[in-house]
Amino acid sequence: MGGPLKLFEVDRLTYRYQRQTALSNLSLSIEEGTRIALLGANGSGKSTLLRILDGLYFPGSGLVRFRGEELTEHNFSHDAFAYSFRREVGLVFQNPDVQLFNPTVFDEVAFGPLQMRWPKSEVRDRVGEILERLRIGHLKDRIPHRLSGGEKKRVALASVLVLDPAVLLLDEPTAALDPRSQSQLIDLLVEWGGGAKSVITATHDLRDLEDIADRCFVLDAGELVAEAAPGELLRDAELLRRTNLVHAHRHRHGGELHSHPHVHGDEG
């Protein structure tokens, strides 16, 4: 019998924004049905990697495969490949304003299924179901750009989850959410698809790491510097400090100066 099926394979990937290198000679492999955390401080390259995995950017050098098929502009020019990929893989951006453009919340969530030519009755039922699941059914007639930051985040997530993709890519999903909304979102992601889906989360927040991930990749200045299980990673204080995922907070006890690592929360 063969080993686990490969979902994504990244081989010696380099990507640059004009003269600035965002990812450098990056190689990693992600298996089907796993929950992955891409960890790194701001500017580490994790958001760029998510966009490449979603076929929005393409490597300057190296390659990326999805289930054995290379992600290239040429392949996405074929409707059959593009349709199949977009049906299977969904990305939720960190800033929901990038994603929202329809006149109402209902139209926003219905947009993807309509593009996929689902029957209108099925679209209506599915949209209603996902809005209720994300506790935003009461917003269905509202204008997305007039919602709060947390409400926009839920609408953006609903617009992706409505298609029930096999692979969910999330860029800082709990940013700009209040603690209760963060907890509800984490619960949803843990339960989503009965644990059989693949979820890849880019984050610098370590607090829920063991709930959302089976495996972690740590990026620093566009390079892969570590791969580990969440518990193992959280015990590596030196790595976390070196990659700016925690900072040392100094204070005095009985006249002596002590230093303790503090986890970064959502910082915007």
Per-position DSSP letters for 190-240, written without gaps between them:
HHGGGGTSEEEEEES--TTHHHH-SEEEEEETTEEEEEE-HHHHHT-HHHH
Tokens encoding 267? 């910082």
Radius of gyration of the chain (CA): 19
Q: What angle do CA 7, 13, 15 make, to 5 degrees?
A: 120
Tokens encoding 177? 């959410």
For the stretch 82-97, what's the b/e string if a residue is b when 16 or more beta carbons lie within 10 angstroms of its beta carbon?
eeebbebbbbbbbebe
pLDDT score, position 261: 44
Helix 120-133 and helix 149-161, axial crossing angle in degrees, nearest 10: 140
Containing 156, the helix (H) or strand (E) segment is helix 149-161
Q: Can you give the residue ranges of every domain in the chain? A: 6-96+165-263
DSSP, residue by residue, 35-81: EEEEE--TTSSHHHHHHHHTTSS--SEEEEEETTEE--HHHHTSHHH
Nearest by Cα to 55 from 88, 24, 18, 11: 88
Tokens encoding 86? 């977009």
- In this structure, are residues 178 and 14 in contact, taking their beta carbons and an 8 Å threshold? no
Q: What is the rounded distance in angstroms from the CA atom of residue 28 to the CA atom of residue 54? A: 16
Torsion of CA 103, 104, 106, 107, to 10 degrees: 0
pLDDT score, position 195: 67
Sequence-distant (6+) residues with CB within 8 A of 127 are 106, 109, 110, 113, 140, 162
Helix 149-161 and helix 105-115, axial crossing angle in degrees, nearest 10: 20
pLDDT score, position 77: 96
CATH of domain 6-96+165-263: 3.40.50.300
pLDDT of the chain, 268 residues: tens digit per residue: 566 789 999 999 999 998 899 999 999 999 999 999 999 998 999 999 999 999 999 999 999 999 999 999 999 999 999 999 999 999 999 999 999 999 999 999 999 999 888 999 999 999 999 999 888 999 999 999 999 988 999 999 999 999 999 999 999 988 878 888 888 888 887 777 666 789 999 998 898 899 889 999 999 999 999 999 999 999 999 999 999 998 644 444 454 433 344 454 443 3
**Neighbouring C-alpha atoms within 13 Å toward the C-beta of 208:** 23
pLDDT score, position 144: 95
